Structure 1
Amino acid sequence: MSLININTSEKEKQEELEEKSEEEETKSNAKIAIKKAQKVAAILLTAIGFDEYGGTLVYPFVPKMLKKRFHISKKNVGVLSGVIEGSFKASSFFSCFYLGYFSDKFGRKPIIIFSLFMVSITLLLFGFAWSVPLLIILQVIAGLTDGSEVVTKAVFSDLTSGVLNNYRSFLFAAMSACYAFFRGLSSATVSIFFGHDFGVESFKKNPYLFPCIIGAIIVFIVAIITYIFFSDKGLMPKEVEPFVHKFKNLKEGFKYVWANRLLRKLVIVFSLCDFSNGSVFVLMILYATLDYSEGGLGFSPNETGVIFIVFGIGTTIYELLWYNKLVKKIGVRKLFLLGSLVTAVCASMFPNFTINNRSFGITCNMEMGCFLNLYSSLLLWNDVFALKRSYND
C-alpha cells in the first residue's frame, strides 16, 4: 500500500509540474505574441494613419479650388466636389477585393508599401493638376491602388486569432482612432499651410500646391519607414492558411462570401453605412464653405480644417478611452445602433445651425444620408450575431 501511495503521489507531483510548465510556456508564448503584436500594430497604425492623412488632406480646399482656380459656377461646385471626393471610395470598392486577394497570395507588406507610395504620388500631382478631369482621374487612381485598410484588418485578424483574441476589439478601436486622428492632422496641415506662399511665386499663383507637397513628402517618408521596419513573415496563423488557399481565384472567394446569408447582409449594411457617412462627410465640407449669404457658414479652407481637427480629437478620445468599455457594457450590436442614431441626429442638425439657412439641397441630402444610416442599423440589428453560430456550425 505504501509503495502504491508513493507512486501515486509522485505521479501527482509530476502532473502538477507538467501543468505548471505548460502554464509558464503559455504565459511566455503570450508575452512574446503580445510584444510582436504591439510592434506590428504600431507600424501598421502609423502606416494606415498617414494613408488616411494623404487621402483626406485635399478635402477642405476642394470647393474653393473648383471656384477660384477652375472657375466652376456655384451651382456645379457641389456636384463636382462630391464626384472628386467620392471617386476615391467608389474606385476602392472595385479594387479592395483584388488587393485583399493579392495580399493573401503575395504578402501584406507589398500591398501596404504600394498603397502608401501611390497616395504620395497622387497627392503631389493633385496640387499640380491643371483641370477638373485630372483631379477626378488622380482620385480614381488613388482609390484603385489603396489597399492599406483591407490589409491592416487582415493582419489584425491574423494577430488576434489565438491567445490575443481579447485584444481584437482594442486593435480595431485603435484603427478607427488612427483614422480620426490623422484626418484631423491632415486638416491641421491645411489650416497651417494653406494661403502661405513663403515668398515663392509658384505658391502665390497656386495656394493649393504647398499643402499637397508637404503631405506627399510626409507620406513618402512613412512608406520608406514602413518598408524598413515592417515584416509580414509569420503573421498568418497556420490554421488559417488552408482556408486562405482554399479558393483558386477571387471569384470563388466572392461566391463563398455571397452564399452566406449573414456575410451578405454585413456587406450590404456596411456599404449603406459607408455611403451615408461618406455623403454626410462631403456635405459638411460643402456646407462649411458655402457663403454665409447663401445659408452656409462661409468658412475658408483653414477654418474648415479646424472643424475636422475638433472631430478628429473627439473621435480619437472616444475610440481609445470609451469604445472598449461600452462594448463590454452594452455589446457591439447595441453600440452600433447607438452610434448610428447619434450620427443621424447630429448630421441632421448640422445644416440648421444658421438662422438664415437657404441651402435646401444640402439639407435634403443630409437627411437622406441620415435615414440610410438608420435603415442600415435596423437591418443589421436582428441577427448579425448569429454569424458566430454559423461559423461554429
Structure 2
Amino acid sequence: MTVENPRRALAVVFGIVFIDLLGFGILIPVIPLYALSFGASEFVGSLLIASYSAMQFLAAPFLGRLSDTRGRRPVLLVSLTGSVVAWTLFGLAGSLVVLFLARMLAGAMGGNIATAQAYIADITPPEDRAKGLGLLGAAFGLGFVFGPALGGFFASETVLSVARDVLPAVVPVSEFTLPSFAAAVITAANLLLAFVVLPESRPPEERDDVPVQERESRLQQLRDALTTEGLGALVVSFFLVSFAFSALESQFIFLTNDQYGYGATENALLLTYFGVVIAVVQGGLVGPLTERFGEYRLAIVGAAIQVVTLAAVPFAPRLAPLVPNVGRLLPVGPTVPAAIVALFVVVTPLATGNALTNVSLNTLVSRAASADDQGGAFGLTQSAGSLARTFGPALAGALYTGIAFWSPFVAGGLLMIPIVVLLSTVDRSTLTEG
C-alpha cells in the first residue's frame, strides 16, 4: 500500500465509480425505446441491452491484468476516455448498427470495475478489504438510483425544448440523444476529476509481470467455485437471481410502453422509485432483520417474495379492480389511475425481496470464503452476475416476442423457486449467522 492518503484515494475511487455508474444509469430508461425508434423488435432491443454486460464480462479480466502491469491509474483514465467516446457516439447514432457498436464499446470500458476493485485491494489492508469493496457496491447502488432520475430529467419535454433553443442545429436533440450526451458530459467531468486527483496505487516496482496464460480465467474461477462445498450453491443462487431479475430489467420498459404508453421520462420515474426502495431496504432494514433472522432466512424469504411478485408484474392492470379507489393521492395534482397504483403495489415488495436476497447472498458468499479470499468471493458474484445479465435479457426478449408479453416475467418468478431449493442444501454449520 503506497498511497500516502488511502482514505482520500478510497473516496476518489468511490466518486469515480459512482459518477461512472451515474452516466450508465442515465441511459437505462432510454436504451430499449431508442432501439425501437430504429425499427428494432423487443428481442433485438434486448440484445442491445445484453451487449453491454457481454463486453464487460470479456473486458474486465483484460483491463484488470493490464492494470497489474501498466498501473491502475492509466487503465482507469483510458477506460473513462473510451466511455466518453461511446456515449457521444450513442447520441449521434444514425443506425441500429452504430447503436450496437457504441453500446459494446461502453460495455468494454465498463470492465474497469475490475481495475477499481484491484485499486481498493492495493490501498486497503486485508482486514478492511471487504468494507472497501462494500463501499464500491454502494457506489453502484447510488448510481442506479440517481442515474435513471437524471435520464428522465434530460428526456423531459421541458429540457428538450430548452436544449433545442440553446444547442446548435447540428446537434440532434431528442428524448434519446440528449440523455446520451448528458452521460458523455458527466463521464468527461469524471475523467477530468480522475486525471487531477487520482494517484497511482501500484508503482512500477510492485507491478506483476506474470504471463497472462498462467492466470486463472474468470470462467475457471467460476467452475472451481461450483465444486466448492457450500459456495457452489450460493454462486448458482446468485446467478439465478441476477438472471431472473435481468428479465424484469430488460423487458419492463417494453411492457410499460405497451401497457401504459410510457416513454423514457415516465419509466425513469418508475425505475428511480424502484432503486429508492432497494436502497432503503439495504440501508435501513437489512441490518435489523439480519440480526433477528439471519442472512440465510432472509435470502429464502426474499426469493419467495419474488416468485409471486415477478410473475405478477405483467398482470398489474388486471389487479386494478382490487385496488381501493384512492382518488387523488395528494391534495393537488392528477388522479393516479388504479392500474398504476396496482403496479406500485406489485413492484414495491418485488424491490424489497430483491434487496433482501442480493444482500443476503453476497454476505453468505463472503462468509463461505476465507479472510484472504474476500476479494475473490466478491469477484465471483460479479462474474456470475455479468454472465446472467448477458444471457438473461436475450432469453427474455425471445420470450416476450416469441411467446407472450407475460412469459419472461413468469419465467423469472419460476427461476426463484430453485433458489429456495438450493439454499436448503447449504450446510449452515459453515455459516456464522446472527
Q: What interval of TM-score do these two structures reach, taking the shorter chain for normalisation?
A: 0.7 to 0.9
Match of 1:319 in 2: 282
Q: How much has 1:328 moved relative to structure 2?
A: 4.6
Please identify the structure whose Cα radius of gyration is greater.
Answer: 1
Aligned residues: 341
Partner residue of 2:415 out of 352, 368, 372: 372
Match of 2:378 in 1: none
Name the structure, 1 or 2, with higher relative contact order (CA <8 Å, separation 6+): 2
Whole-angstrom distance in 1 between the partners of 2:213 and 2:424: 29
User: Are the structure 2 counterparts of residues 307 and 95 from structure 1 closer, same or farther at C-alpha, using a change threshold of 3 Å?
Assistant: same
Q: Percent of counterpart pairs with the same letter?
A: 17
Q: How much has 1:347 moved relative to structure 2?
A: 2.4
Paired letter, 2:282: E
Contact 1:187 1:308 in 2 (8 A): no
Partner residue of 1:109 out of 73, 79, 83: 73
Which stretches of structure 1, 4 residues or longer, exceed 6 Å deviation after superposition? 384-389
Instruction: After TM superposition, list the pairs within 5 Å mapping 1:1-393 onto structure 2.
Output: 36-68=5-37, 70=38, 72=39, 76-157=40-121, 161-164=125-128, 167=131, 170-171=134-135, 174-192=138-156, 195-196=160-161, 197-199=163-165, 201-202=169-170, 206-233=174-201, 248-250=211-213, 252-254=215-217, 255=220, 258-260=223-225, 261-262=227-228, 268-290=236-258, 296-355=259-318, 361-376=404-419, 378-379=421-422, 382-383=425-426
Whole-angstrom distance in 2 between the partners of 1:80 and 1:211: 21
Whole-angstrom distance in 2 between the partners of 1:257 and 1:246: 24
Question: For residues 71-130 of structure 1, what are the alpha-carbon distances to aligned partners after superposition, in whole Å with 9 as ceiling and x for unaligned?
Answer: x1xxx5311210111110122222222222323333332332222222221111111111
Length-normalised TM-score, structure 2: 0.66
Whole-angstrom distance in 2 between the partners of 1:258 and 1:245: 25
Runs of 5+ in structure 1 lacking a partner?
A: 1-32, 236-240, 291-295
Paired letter, 1:286: F
Contact 1:188 1:309 in 2 (8 A): no
Q: How much has 1:138 moved relative to structure 2?
A: 1.4
Contact 1:82 1:282 in 2 (8 A): yes
Question: For residues 33-80 of structure 1, what are the alpha-carbon distances to aligned partners after superposition, in whole Å with 9 as ceiling and x for unaligned?
Answer: 9x9454233222222222222223233233433444x2x1xxx53112
Contact 2:25 2:144 in 1 (8 A): no
User: Are the structure 2 counterparts of residues 112 and 334 from structure 1 closer, same or farther at C-alpha, using a change threshold of 3 Å?
Assistant: farther
Which deviates the most, 42-51 or 155-164? Answer: 155-164
Length-normalised TM-score, structure 1: 0.72
Question: For residues 336-384 of structure 1, what are the alpha-carbon distances to aligned partners after superposition, in whole Å with 9 as ceiling and x for unaligned?
Answer: 4344344443322221111399x87231111222333443464356448
User: Are the structure 2 counterparts of residues 251 and 80 from structure 1 closer, same or farther at C-alpha, using a change threshold of 3 Å?
Assistant: farther
Question: For residues 297-348 of structure 1, what are the alpha-carbon distances to aligned partners after superposition, in whole Å with 9 as ceiling and x for unaligned?
Answer: 2112111111112122222333333344444544444444344344443322
User: Are the structure 2 counterparts of residues 267 and 227 from structure 1 closer, same or farther at C-alpha, using a change threshold of 3 Å?
Assistant: farther
Paired letter, 2:196: I
Whole-angstrom distance in 1 between the partners of 2:305 and 2:123: 32
Q: How much has 1:166 moved relative to structure 2?
A: 7.2
